[in-house]
Amino acid sequence: MGIMAGLNVLKSSHPNSYKQLCNDEPYLSCIELPGHEIVAFLDTLLPLCQQALYSKNASVSHAGETALLYLAQVDPVRVAPPMIDFGLRALDISSVNLAHQAPSALSALTRLFQPALRQCPTMVLSRLPEMLRLSLAGIDSNDQNKTMRTLIFYRNLVMWLPVGGALNIALDDKETKGTIQIGEGLMDQRNSIVGSTSYKNALASLPESSILAQTNAAMLDTDIDFGTVMEEAMLAMSDWSLAFLDRVYELLRATGEQEKLGKGHSGYAATHGSMDIAITKNVSRIMKETLTYFFSSMDTETYRSALRSVSKFMEEETLPFAVKDASLLCQAVCMTRFDLKDSSADASPGLDALVPILTEDLEHRSTKSAIYRLRCLAGAVRYAGSSVLKHRDSIVAAITYALSQPDDKVLFKTGCKLLRHTLSSQCEEYPIAQSSHPMKSGTNFVPGACAELKHDGVHWCVPSGKSIDFTVDLVGRFCLKRLRSLGDTTGDNNIQRWRQSLRVLRYTLRGCLGILLDDSADTILSQEGELCPKEKATASLIKSSSPESQKILGDLRRRFCFNLMDITCVIAKGTVDCESKSDESQSDKKEGGLSISTDAKVCNEVIEIAELLLTRRGAQYQSGSGKTIWRGQKEILVDFFLTSECDYIQNILLRADDVSQRGLNSLYKDGEESGKNISRCLLVNRIHIANQTLTASASSQIPRRLKKLRDGAGTNATIPASLFTLEMNMETLQSHLSSEESPYKDENCTSLRACEAVIDGLCNLSCHPNINVRGNALSITDFLMTRFGWVVKHRTSRLLSAISLRDDELKGVDGIPSTQELVTQVNAQGRRTRLAEVVKGVLKLVSLPKILKHMMWNEVDRFELVKTVCGTQRLLSLLPPEDVAKVVYYVNSIFLLFRSRNFSLLRVSQADQMAHESCLEFLIDMLQDGSKSTTAPDEKSDEVADDSDAGEMHWRDRLVASWFLLQFVDEKDLVTTKPQLMSKVWTTCFTLIKEEVGQPIQRVSLGLLGRLVSLALVDMSQPESIGAGQPDVSLLRDFFTSEQACKALGNALVYDHREDTSVGGGHGAQWSSGVQEIIRDATANLSTRTLFPFQRVSVKTSIYKLQHSQLLCSALLAIGYENAKVAVGYLLAQATELVASPPSEDQRNQQCTAAEIFGGVCRAMLLYSTTPEDREVIWDTMLLPFLEDAVQKTPTYIIGAYFDACRWGIHHFPPKHFFPLLKFTVMKVQTTLWQRDGVEETEQGSGVATAMADRFALQSKWLYFIQSVLIELDGEDDVGATSKLPWYTAGLLHDNVLDSEGSNDEEIELGQCWSHVSEALIPSLLNAIGHPYDKCRDHIASLLFRMCYCHRKFINTLSYGKGSRSNDPGITIMNQLVGIQDSTSYSFKEKNRALGTARKFVAYCVHWGDAKHEYSQFIVPLLPLAFKALQTTEGEVSVEDRGIEAELVKGFRYAIVSACLLFVWVLTNLLFHYPDVLCSPTIFFTITFTPL
């Protein structure tokens, strides 16, 4: 319907675009939906929405509510009135049986209110008094859900309607249009759809019971005076406002006491879950928004009445448990207001009325009463603007009283909040609440219309010079004075005083950060081109204040930063050598018990202050969460009909490149002509959020500007030395705090350098003895790195040296204590507890994303990180046993983060290449030196050696080192790196394979070998490598020409298999953290990835590891043909031993490895072979003897590995390459397969039965194995792909000769193969269809299908045998299978077995075949046989024979069902493609029953 309306708009306003659109898309001419169909659509769905609306399931109810909104937007005039009446019935207090429906009814009314108000305002306003009266009961302290939905309804109500006043009313203002318009008359075209004659006639024909028919003429009467209805509605709104406030008071009175929780639980009740906390927060937020819009939409008289009610409530009652919601009430009523006739004047009558009440006689009130009133006062002043100045003395006195009560923590904290809110109200800009009023000054009010910015700007409360002066006075009076008092050495300067002073500083910063600049306002404004909007606006604002205030503010942020730096320096000095649980030192006791270094509350205050000073540029910074809430509120009001209409028009105009859309920014669309449907409140909120976003972005823009101003452009500038020092003591700190002027007067001592020093202090706090302090400091440091990212560059080496215990001369540098010095420090129990605390903090710092990311971007830092991660053995040996596991976990976390972000780094300079080579040498030396001093993973892996064994390599360190070596070696190393270094890499890899038997590091070494071999083959194949030099693979040749090395490699491949979960408890390997990831990466590097098998038939077993075969094949190709022949002999000899391995837990892996060796050797030797003679020798002397022996000795459940190995060995080769294998397998099947001789089997003894079972098992293996050869003959396009040019070559060369090259030879080879198979194999198989062994019959049926399937594909693909069916094996096979039932040559058991083979053949045709071929050629001819097999034998039959027959019947039933399902699929496709032909009943009957 939106498209229909959009087309009508285009037709009227853009006829040329409409004409072109109809030519391009002719179907649009008939897209119009008739009116009677729309009526039928609405009439059908509305009752369903009614039922879903009151469902007990919340999801169903929400879906019904949303669907009801969509339907109401189609025709609000006829849908909204009956649905509103339907909802009001549920709100009536007399409807006892409908009381549970009230929440859903309120939600429905919320959704329907705006569409109905826009299209039929008279109807809505006439029902408004009843809505207000019935909905008041929804505010119920006993039902939080209903209360929340009622508040949402009221919030939506006051968004669109004023409370008690009406000015400049217009039912439809044609002059108000959005700033940017997509089309004209969008609403008119939308309404015309439901105003057509067809639509009205359909409405008239509806029965009286229809919901649409309930909208009578009285509801749609347009003769009613709108002004009269509006006046009555506003009178009802005025009366309702006081009743609503009374309900709010009752809600506050019913608020109970909340249980106070510990830290980290947001102070909510301990018995409440996260859902309860979220609901409570949501209710408070909704109440705040509702009250804000409620008071802002009032006219003057109604506001005065409401203010008198609130004043009386605040004067007469004290509700300590409802203090938060009461403060929200005071905040809403005291918001700045302006006169609708003079918007330049603003005042706060609410503040004028409440301040005397809330500040009266605080000293003589109880503590709870004082806290309640101060908290309400804090809410009242938050958005009161310049009106606060009139009450500055009362507010200052209230703050002074609260902060003068240090023994009462709650009262002191309330005073801090009052100070923060007062500061924010005087130095922050925010929209005046009345800007959200739906009746703006100077414009006409259209009820329910979308808000527009045109000719109606937002009025802001902007601080004045007097407000800034008052802010400076508050900061000096309550914050700076307290900080100076901390420097007074004569007074009582205890730890509690430090805590409270720092808390006052934190709350002060939260209130006035918006006006704290890094330099004077004149200096800031002189840098015009570099300023961000927030910084420029703040500097201009400060210029309006007095000269004294400008002087103080110009240096205030810098002073706070240096004071904070001094405090962090003192904390660092006190904790750099202390123990976590030691008593206070004697010097601290002499200072009166002062120990700010170890006090967790002081440290946490310092951390939070650092976050404020370094990352925030205003009190309103949480624009992200506000934007999310705003989007949710906007979605509730979206008119999807109008939106779809607008989007379609804009899309068409953009496609047509219409002039009206050029340069149009869709982000600034507003008004109904642009498809929008938001209220004035949401529009103002969105603008406010945009302003908050500018404030939030300033926190990162300003530090970058200061950095660029100090160091210039570029990233290689030298950062000045840090001002952080451990020489700071308490006396110096107190002298700095007590000084009237900042002691750091040097021009180089800028606020930026102080911030960098504070970051050093936070790094020190990240190593604090208190675990909570460490955690808070780490989180804040991580956040600061997003604003001061350049400080990471010079910290990486310092952090790594601390982990490596190589920081003797670096004590306190970057805030990190010297770990080497802490080695000698032990506590009373003789443990190095302080060392463990510092190391854990440093490890967590290294794992921060910014720091780790920097380490990965150059080879030098990577090298340092590798040395650190791989060299933790000495560190672990020094730590207390209880901290070892955690430190190991932290180190492993760093490694896993590096692994997840690892990438190949391009080395563009000689320095990078040298660092890379040094890293490789370090890793090689590490692996070689520790090869004989490691501890196996399963032997004392959790124990740590003594100090005397600190030099020995731990198995984990060597494993991590091998992973780094695996990842860092690349293709350039094999040709550009020093030959001696690469020789070490090869030698190390081979040594680890030989010596680390069964260990994880051996598996990583296999991955390294695979990577080296793959890179060597890549370098050999590159044309540019011919002149630059080939990679040296001499060591690889020596390795593979050594019998012992090949044997070690085979054993390594055995251990590289996945663990058998069928033994040993049925679970996988229990690796330590990180080991599984290392092994996974090693497996991925064994070989390059391949798409094998590139056919329909997948691999047969999961234990076969294709990467092993690929590794051996690649290695054999890299060492040359002559060396490969020697290596093949050793490898096959090792494989022969593995095949004959005795029973053990590794037997399965050993026998599977033998198959993998065969696959790799087979493919490599076939790639080497160039003549038929070479291939004959390879097959006859190397491969076939091994294969014959292996198949005989391998258990049946392992034979699938040889199936996959054989397929991989001959994959994509022409038939001539493996024709000897085909002949050999056919011969083995002929010589071993059981043949029917007409003699009935008799019962045999146990020995004979065992021998027969062994013989049948061997037959089963050869029958299974030969299928792998036939599958590789089953290639339409991939047969001989290894000897063909790529598929795109012909198109590039335009050479027709390539198309026919080799095709005749392939046809001849295929003919020979199939002639041999048809002549030698098919007769034997057909004679054995009654095989006694069920597994053999299964393989025989599979082989018969495979031969029919493959032969048919060759006939259709190649020219061999085309047009002739004399050589078709399918004919012979079908004749044999069809004649089973009537044959008299079979005994009873043989016939049932043969029928079972036929049944399996049908099953293979159904599941593996192609429907258009197999169904008609094989399945349909065998269906009569299947139905005859369902008939049981009459007469007396033995129990055994009857059981065999029953089993056969059951199998055929499944086969018939499968065939019928396949027929249904075929018939469905035929009906889809040929509906006219198959719709005839006669033809349909013929097609359906002919197969049967």
What are the beta bridge partners of residue 163?
A: 298
Give the C-alpha separation, 1138 to 1147, whole Å: 8
DSSP 346: E
Q: In this prediction, what percent of the chain has a pLDDT beyond 70? A: 79
Spell out the alpha helix ranges (H) of 942-1100.
Answer: 955-968, 973-976, 979-995, 1000-1021, 1025-1028, 1034-1040, 1043-1055, 1075-1084
1269-1278: pLDDT as tens digits: 888 876 544 4
What are the beta bridge partners of residue 339?
A: 342
918-962: pLDDT as tens digits: 999 999 998 887 644 333 344 333 433 344 344 567 788 899 999
**pLDDT at 1366 > cutoff 50:** no
**pLDDT at 496 > cutoff 50:** yes
Give the C-alpha separation, 196 to 199, whole Å: 5
Q: Predicted confidence band at 660 (pLDDT cuts at 50, 70, 90)?
A: low
**pLDDT at 1489 > cutoff 60:** no
What mean pLDDT is predicted for residues 537-541? 91
What are residue 298's phi and psi, to 5 degrees? Answer: -80, 145
What mean pLDDT is predicted for residues 846-857? 91
Element (H, E) at 534: helix 533-542
Give 717's contacts (C-beta < 8 A, 6+ positions apart): 711
Classify the C-alpha dihedral 612-616-618-620 as positive or negative: negative
Tokens representing 1480?
A: 């005839």
What mean pLDDT is predicted for residues 898-910? 87
Q: Predicted confidence band at 1185 (pLDDT cuts at 50, 70, 90)?
A: very high
**Which one has a higher pLDDT value, 1034 or 255?**
1034
What mean pLDDT is predicted for residues 1069-1074? 70
Q: Predicted confidence band at 836 (pLDDT cuts at 50, 70, 90)?
A: very high
265-317: pLDDT as tens digits: 444 444 455 566 677 788 889 999 999 999 988 888 899 999 999 999 999 98
* pLDDT on residue 585: 45
Q: Predicted confidence band at 28 (pLDDT cuts at 50, 70, 90)?
A: confident
Q: Predicted confidence band at 1302 (pLDDT cuts at 50, 70, 90)?
A: very low
Its pTM stands at 0.81
**pLDDT at 1485 > cutoff 50:** no
**pLDDT at 588 > cutoff 50:** no
The answer to whether residues 328 and 287 touch, using CB atoms and an 8 Å cutoff, is: yes
Q: In this prediction, what percent of the chain has a pLDDT beyond 90? A: 33
**pLDDT at 513 > cutoff 70:** yes
247-278: pLDDT as tens digits: 999 999 988 765 444 444 444 444 455 566 67
Amino acid identity of 79?
Answer: V
* pLDDT on residue 73: 84
Characterize 859-880 residue by residue with b for buried, 16 or more Cβ atoms within 10 angstroms of its Cβ, and e for exposed. bbbbbbbbbbbbbbbbbbbbbb
* pLDDT on residue 661: 60
* pLDDT on residue 3: 75
322-338: pLDDT as tens digits: 999 999 999 999 998 87
Task: Report helix, strand or coil for 1193.
Answer: helix
Q: Which of 91-105, 177-191, 1341-1355, 1401-1415 has the lowest mean pLDDT?
A: 177-191
* pLDDT on residue 776: 95
Tokens representing 1211?
A: 């994959």
**Could you tell me the end-to-end alpha-carbon distance of the chain, in angstroms, rounded to an integer?**
51
Give 1243's contacts (C-beta < 8 A, 6+ positions apart): none
* pLDDT on residue 932: 41
What mean pLDDT is predicted for residues 1075-1101? 83
Q: Which of 149-153, 583-587, 754-758 has the lowest mean pLDDT?
A: 583-587
Average pLDDT, the chain: 81
Give 1395's contacts (C-beta < 8 A, 6+ positions apart): 1380, 1381, 1425, 1429, 1448, 1452
The answer to whether residues 726 and 811 touch, using CB atoms and an 8 Å cutoff, is: yes
Give the C-alpha separation, 934 to 271, whole Å: 52
Give the C-alpha separation, 921 to 929, whole Å: 12
Amino acid identity of 265?
Answer: H
1108-1138: pLDDT as tens digits: 999 999 999 999 989 999 999 999 999 999 9
Q: Within 13 A of 1256's CA, how many CA atoms are on the CB side?
A: 17
1223-1257: pLDDT as tens digits: 899 898 888 888 876 444 544 445 555 666 668 88
Do strands 342-347 and 337-339 pair parallel, antiparallel, or not at all (unpaired)? antiparallel
> Would you list the DSSP string of 792-823?
GTTTHHHHHHHHTT--TT-TTGGG---HHHHT
Classify the C-alpha dihedral 429-433-439-441 as positive or negative: negative
What mean pLDDT is predicted for residues 1098-1113? 89
Q: Predicted confidence band at 56 (pLDDT cuts at 50, 70, 90)?
A: confident
Query: How many other C-beta atoms can be found within 10 angstroms of the C-beta atom of residue 1296?
Result: 9
